[in-house]
Amino acid sequence: MAIIAQKCPHIKVTVVDLNQKRIAEWNDADVNNIPIYEPGLSAIVAEARGRNLFFSTDIERAIDAADMIFISVNTPTKTYGVGKGMAADLKYIELCARQIAKISTSDKIVVEKSTLPVRTASAIKNILENTGNGVKFQILSNPEFLAEGTAVADLLNPDRVLIGGDTSMEGQEAIKKLVAIYSNWVLKDRILTTNIWSSELSKLTANAFLAQRVSSINAMSELCEKTGADVNEVAKAIGMDSRIGSKFLKASVGFGGSCFKKDILNLVYIAKSYGLNEVADYWEQVIVMNDHQKSRFAKTIVKTLYNTVSGKKIAFLGWAFKKDTNDTRESPAIYVADDLLDEQAIITVYDPKVTQTQIHSDVNYLNSRSELENKNGLTILDNPYDVCQDSHAIVILTEWSEFTSYDWQKIYDQMQKPAFVFDGRNVLDKKVMEKIGFVYQAIGS
């Protein structure tokens, strides 16, 4: 919405939410205090906010005034009932649709922006068209393909913009209106239009394919470690094949973020609901492999540290699921920390953008131990050198660029000996680290 407001100063964009605290943060006088860290975002918000970009809790007024409404609410994995642990929970989508239907007094275009299971649009349309107040709605699907950490660049210069809608004349007119918005900065040949079901399924499919690549190279990383091959060399060799390409072939401790696991589980559930068990099993293995990689990494740490980490200080560098974001959802760091805390390790954490409150919340959410046990076993500091002081091992869990600029000789000198580094993101140079004196282990080598 910030990008649309920046690129379309003639369009009024209002972002609404029930959460008053969150809206207040978006309206903070210091634009650097906005709640999402994303390179370049604060400058864009500063340019458009108050001009044609507004943040409000007055949801009813915004709905009534709008010609086009983007539904961008959370669609988490269900934790209850039918489909528990796999299906997308659509209660927030339905609540949005019912509120739009209740308040609207004029015709509107409703755009699905949240990641949704295929054919959700029909449910939204059914709710909207049975209001009895004569208002007409058109439903469009416009899934987002940005990546956190590069979201601004991805939105300013997207690989494609996908818009799905009805094949009726009214549906095609609605598509044209959304195309016209994106055409203010996106080339026409990058704006794809499809039927609404293809658009909904394309988002799930894209995330599934990307996650599959990560799990595939991670599966090979384990084989590399057993055979003496180097996964980085393997990835480079196969990545030069034009049919494969090099993106998403970087071995690591595993993928995280809000989308990959959730969307694949949703895809698995959809396949099972249609009786496509082999399809479901195929995609579920992507999740199995990713969970295995995180567990395997934690076990490697314990095994290398003489089969015990009890009472040993383990320094974590990075907590966010990837660099250049403060998002920790499904971050591998959470699960590695959980495994090591179960082994009675003492963990200290440094991340340049993730707050202490968020880190404690992430660990407590797993409910493996009491909050007091977690607080006693995990400490967050704002200085990486203090985090590493007197540690037995350093574990790198986010590929923050600043890690490569540290004085690693200084860090080595203040650690317990032998000093171990477990590089879960293949950030550092193995030869340099071993020359200093570290026992250095990276994924897949």
Beta bridge partners of 422: 395, 441
Residue 213, burial from CB neighbour count under 10 angstroms (0-12, 13-18, 19+):
middle
Give residues with Cβ within 8 angstroms of 312, minimum separation 6. 305, 345, 346, 392, 393, 416
Per DSSP, the residues of 391-429 read -SEEEE-S--GGGGGS-HHHHHHTS-SS-EEEETT--S-
What is the sign of the dihedral through the CA atoms of 109, 193, 164 and 212?
negative
Q: Which of 8, 96, 224, 259 is catalytic?
A: 259
- Greatest Cα pair distance, the chain, in angstroms, is 75
Give residues with Cβ within 8 angstroms of 135, minimum separation 6. 101, 104, 105, 106, 107, 108, 128
- Strands 68-71, 378-380: parallel, antiparallel or unpaired by DSSP? unpaired
The candidate with the shortest Cα–Cα distance to 84, out of 232, 266, 306, 228, is 266
Q: Is 241 helix (H, G, I), strand (E, B) or coil?
A: coil
Place of tokens 């458009």: 48
Helical (H) or strand (E) element with 101: helix 91-103
The candidate with the shortest Cα–Cα distance to 148, out of 379, 307, 383, 354, is 354
What tokens appear for 161 in the block?
A: 């913009």
Distance of CA 258 to the CA centre of its chain: 4
Tell me how far apart the alpha carbons of residues 255 and 287 are, in angstroms, rounded to a whole number: 10
The candidate with the shortest Cα–Cα distance to 41, out of 179, 154, 142, is 154
Active site residue 259: yes
- Which residues are designated catalytic? 259
